[in-house]
Amino acid sequence: MQVRDFLRLAQQYPVAAAIKSEEEFVAALSSKAALVFILKGNAFHLSSFILQAHERNKGVVVHIDLISGIGKDRTGIHYLRDLGVDAIITSRSQLIAAGRAEKLVTIQRLLLLDDLAFETGVRTVARSQPDIIEVLPGIIFPEVAPRLLAQLQGPFIAGGFIRTHAEVEHINAAGALLCSSSTQKLWG
């Protein structure tokens, strides 16, 4: 998948299904969410998940830092690419470079705990140049969006503590491409 294909999927529905269990995966498959973010699980179960999601024209994004049974290196990313993963999420700059080398869409997490984390994170993300930046906690995106948009090109995903349709609308109006949420009622 190329970045433009990912962006097309992101525009189909404003919330990506962020899943941490097989039960949530089943719910995500039948939802309107065009993207499924696998945030937890076992690498040996991914193949079936990816196949089922692709059969339903959904993109699959794997948080490589949180999946067990896979190396957190280029070989692990190569394995994910061979499985058919469309994109990776990571907080590690070296994995962004490896994902790019493997022709995967790369999403780097930017955890904003305070002003120092903001400044350090922005510098790190600017150096690693991911395709997309995921801001956490996403609920604060409208507050930090003006600073982010002035310093980074984006596009941006907001993830974390997003629980209502009104919050999704507010975050998207502030400039986020997409929200990721584990709140199933937001998946449509």
Q: Give the pLDDT of residue 163.
A: 98
Q: What are the sequence ranges of the domains in the chain?
A: 3-187
Mean pLDDT on 173-182:
98
Is residue 58 within 8 A of residue 29, CB to CB? The reply is yes
**pLDDT tens per residue, range 89-127:** 999 999 999 999 999 999 999 999 999 999 999 999 999
Which of 161, 162, 152 lies closest to 131 in space, CA to CA? 152
- Three-class DSSP category at 17: strand
Angle between helices 46-55 and 22-29 in degrees, nearest 10: 10
β-strand partners of 37? 18, 61
**pLDDT tens per residue, range 22-53:** 899 999 999 999 999 999 998 988 999 999 99
Which DSSP helix (H) or strand (E) runs through 165?
Answer: helix 165-173
Q: Give the pLDDT of residue 117.
A: 95
Give the end-to-end CA distance of the chain in Å, rounded to a whole number.
24
- Work out the pLDDT band at 164, boundaries 50, 70, 90: very high
Mean pLDDT on 160-174:
98
Q: Give the pLDDT of residue 184.
A: 98
Instruction: Name the H helices within the chain.
Output: 3-12, 22-29, 46-55, 74-83, 93-101, 115-128, 141-151, 165-173
pTM above 0.95, yes or no: yes
Fold adopted by 3-187: TIM Barrel (3.20.20)
